[in-house]
Amino acid sequence: MSLTDSAPVPTELLDTIRTKHGALWALGDYPAVADEVIPTLGAVLVEACDVGRGDRVLDVAAGSGNAAIPAALAGAEVVASDFAPQLLQAGRERAARRGAVLRFEFADAHDLPFDDGAFDVVMSCVGVMFAPFHQLAAGELARVTRPGGTIGTIAWTPEGFIGEMFATMKPYAPPPPPGAQPPPRWGDELHVRALLGDRVSDLHAEVRGLVVDRFSSGAEFRDFFKATYGPTIATYRFLGDDAARVAELDQALAALADRHLRPDGTMTWDYLLVHATRA
């Protein structure tokens, strides 16, 4: 494992998290979320990172290739890394359908199996935000980026819809690992600046909104995420047979989405787009 300025995380804990989180993201059907709800988000990050032909690109916590595949189609030499084998396989299949050539490799964002400075662009689209130890993951993003290269991330903001969704689920969810930080903090500019610190220069951050038109009601949103989205599925499984708590969460998630739905059937999900130069 590389050295970063974060407190050491026991290897046993990282091994446990790797196993549990890999299983979590294999629940349901995350590729359906990527394809039906946020299909344009990866291309936004690729454009912001100015990915071009011949660039060596690493997509960290790539899922099923939402950003990695557009990068490959732009002519880059791409490695898509994730620690959920099911998502990697889904990505390979999606890439084949779209005619994109890239490598999908098993890797943990906390301990990337790549050399220092191996990539021109290192990016993550709503992916690395779910690595529980933020400083460790940020150190790895910087380590594998060459000096003068680009680091780019997209993360849901704490104040936006998905940040609110995680806050709504928190009282019902299993406790996080000791020392873990909440995923939406990667959507806080000050937090990201502190994570990357003097490893980067020329850091630009912008809150943008993704227009989502997949759901006609809060109940439809809730039921879709209960069936497809790993963190939501895991929260409901943690509640088990507690019918009263399940009903409470059902109502809370549907009400949240209903508050955000506009009369035309759209919602806006805020995210933070960051790109910076490796110092």
What was the pLDDT predicted at 1? 35
Which pLDDT band, with edges at 50, 70 and 90, does 6 fall under? low
Does the pLDDT at position 22 exceed 50? yes
CATH number belonging to domain 11-158+176-211+267-278: 3.40.50.150
What was the pLDDT predicted at 2? 37
Which pLDDT band, with edges at 50, 70 and 90, does 77 fall under? very high
Does the pLDDT at position 3 exceed 50? no
Does the pLDDT at position 70 exceed 70? yes
Are 149 and 122 in contact by the 8 Å Cβ rule? The answer is yes
Are 106 and 82 in contact by the 8 Å Cβ rule? The answer is yes
What was the pLDDT predicted at 240? 97
Pairwise CA distance, residues 60 & 80, whole Å: 7
In the chain, % of residues over pLDDT 70: 97
Which pLDDT band, with edges at 50, 70 and 90, does 8 fall under? confident
Q: Is 220 exposed, middle or buried (0-12, 13-18, 19+ CB in 10 A)?
A: middle
Determine how many CB atoms are found less than 10 A away from the CB of residue 208.
Answer: 15
Q: Mean pLDDT throughout 205-214?
A: 98
Give residue-wise pLDDT tens across range 164-174.
Answer: 999 999 999 99
User: What global pTM score does this model have?
Assistant: 0.96
Give residue-wise pLDDT tens across range 48-58.
Answer: 999 999 999 99
For residue 251, CA distances in Å to 53, 207, 220, 239, 262 come to 48, 29, 12, 15, 19
Determine how many CB atoms are found less than 10 A away from the CB of residue 23.
Answer: 13
Does the pLDDT at position 276 exceed 60? yes
Pairwise CA distance, residues 247 & 243, whole Å: 6
Q: What is the mean pLDDT of the chain?
A: 96
Does the pLDDT at position 4 exceed 60? no
Residue with tokens 């955000």: 260
Does the pLDDT at position 5 exceed 90? no
Burial state string for 221-237 with b = 16 or more CB within 10 A and e = fewer than 16: bbebbbebbbbbbbbbe
Give residue-wise pLDDT tens across range 115-157.
Answer: 999 999 999 999 999 999 999 999 999 999 999 999 999 999 9
Pairwise CA distance, residues 97 & 79, whole Å: 17
Pairwise CA distance, residues 157 & 190, whole Å: 12
